[in-house]
Amino acid sequence: MPPTEGSLKDLDDKTSESVVKFVSEVRSGKIQGSENIAVATVDLLEKIISESETTNALSLCNLVRAVGRNLVQALPTELAAGNMVRRVLRAIRDEQRAHANQSVEGAGESLQRLVLAAPSRRATLGPAARDLKEPIRDHIAELRAELDASTSSISSQARSHVHADELLLTYGASALVECFLRAAGTRRFRLLLAEGPDVAESHAMAARLATAGVSVALVGGAAVGALMPRVNKVVLGAAAALAGGAALATAGALAVTAAAAHHAVSVVVLSPLWSLSALHARGGQLFEALAPASRALPYQGVESALVRVEAPLYDVVPPEHITLFITNLGGSSPSYIYRLLSELYDPNDYQL
């Protein structure tokens, strides 16, 4: 949906302009990559909250939710943007609850005081009257620090999951997987890197890992099934970890994990906290998103003029194919993802 349509009428002109600019930068490729989009979303929300005239919890929640709805509608395939909106909403709610609990603990005979207070006084006694901008900015600073440390937090766990003389397999190019394998480079392991949709990036990643001292062999995606019986572990990056324990990964990853499940090979998915999504794997616009057709068939090919080519952007990897998610906080089984979601997001904000 165009960023200037729909519920933008719920926002003032200044906020609408900021949202439209952000959406345009993502669509034009000026902001690329889920992690960069997550950081940019946090920056956008901080700017909007700072410039807003409202200061109480209810008004801030309504403002952030309105921004989130527009971002989700305009960028349905960029789950990181919606995830960051939910994190900020959770921070607002937690700050409000903390203030409410402090008010109750220190009130003494609070019920009697509220009953006897004048209406004008009662209107300012409630916790909603508190200025939450400064505490929310502190929460946003902590969230930004978490985002900055995501890659290093996950990479630091590499030596616990990669062992000597193992044969690992990964699919496609992933900056996070590359950092993870580099961190495990002191272990003497071998790596099979199966070409993903972006063949050039896969070749470049293999070259960088080889330069870093990793024993890597580049193989075609079609060879994964034949090679899987020799593999000890599959390491994948994910665009998102979904509620229920599924993962949203690069198109083609489902075939890799299906082969791994058939041969009882462990599958480890690297998933920073910012990628944990409250969505379920039930289809819809996100899971039907298409990449450029040239990923599947070059435009200069003779056949491309005779057929309609559809190249899926993502595969949904079911939880039964996944052995372990590795997040900033450590390893978690797919059945534990719901618990992580309840710690990160408020249930009221699952649907923006």
Q: How far apart are CA 117 and CA 123, in angstroms?
A: 10
Name which of 39, 351, 6 is nearest 22 in CA terms. 39
Give me the pLDDT at residue 207, please. Answer: 93
Q: Which CATH number fits domain 156-349: 3.40.50.10470, 3.30.930.10, 1.10.3720.10, 2.40.30.10?
A: 3.40.50.10470
Q: Is 17 left (phi over 0), alpha (psi -120 to 50) or beta?
A: alpha
Q: Rounded to 5 degrees, what are φ and ψ at 240?
A: -165, 150
211 burial type by CB count under 10 A (0-12 exposed, 13-18 middle, 19+ buried): exposed
- Residues 235, 180: contact at Cβ < 8 Å? yes
Name which of 133, 141, 127 is nearest 49 in CA terms. 133
At residue 51, the 3 state secondary structure works out as helix
Could you give the angle at the alpha carbon of 50 between the alpha carbons of 22 and 55, nearest 5°?
125
Could you give the angle at the alpha carbon of 111 between the alpha carbons of 110 and 112, nearest 5°?
95
Amino acid at 252: G
At 255, list the tokens: 């075939």
The DSSP bridge partners found for residue 179 are: none
Give me the pLDDT at residue 187, please. Answer: 80
- Residues 286, 278: contact at Cβ < 8 Å? no
Give me the pLDDT at residue 51, please. Answer: 86
Q: How far apart are CA 196 and CA 201, in angstroms?
A: 8
pLDDT, tens only, 185-218: 778 899 999 998 888 899 999 999 999 989 999 9
| CATH class entry, domain 6-150 | mainly alpha
**CA distances (Å), 65 to each of 151, 154, 279, in order?**
28, 30, 16
Could you tell me where the DSSP H helices lie in 75-162? 79-105, 110-116, 119-125, 133-155, 158-161
Q: Are strands 167-171 and 233-237 parallel, antiparallel or unpaired?
A: parallel
319 burial type by CB count under 10 A (0-12 exposed, 13-18 middle, 19+ buried): middle
Print burial letters for 135-168: b (CB count within 10 Å at least 16), e (below 16).
bbeebbeebeebbeebbebbbebbeebbeeebbb
User: Across all residues in the chain, what is the average pLDDT?
Assistant: 84
Residue whose structure tokens are 């090979």: 265
Give me the pLDDT at residue 67, please. Answer: 93
Give me the pLDDT at residue 269, please. Answer: 96
- Residues 303, 266: contact at Cβ < 8 Å? no
Give me the pLDDT at residue 85, please. Answer: 95
Please spell the DSSP secondary structure of 287-335, one letter per residue.
GG-EE-GGGTS-TTSGGGGTS---EESEEEE-GGG-SEEEETTEEE-GG
CA dihedral 350, 320, 160, 265 (to 10 degrees): -150
At residue 216, the 3 state secondary structure works out as strand
Q: Are strands 276-280 and 290-291 parallel, antiparallel or unpaired?
A: unpaired
Q: How far apart are CA 253 and CA 271, in angstroms?
A: 15
Domain segments of the chain: what residues? 6-150, 156-349
pLDDT along the chain (352 residues), means of 10: 51 87 91 91 93 83 91 89 94 82 52 46 43 84 93 92 92 93 86 90 92 91 92 94 90 93 95 91 64 73 70 88 93 91 90 82
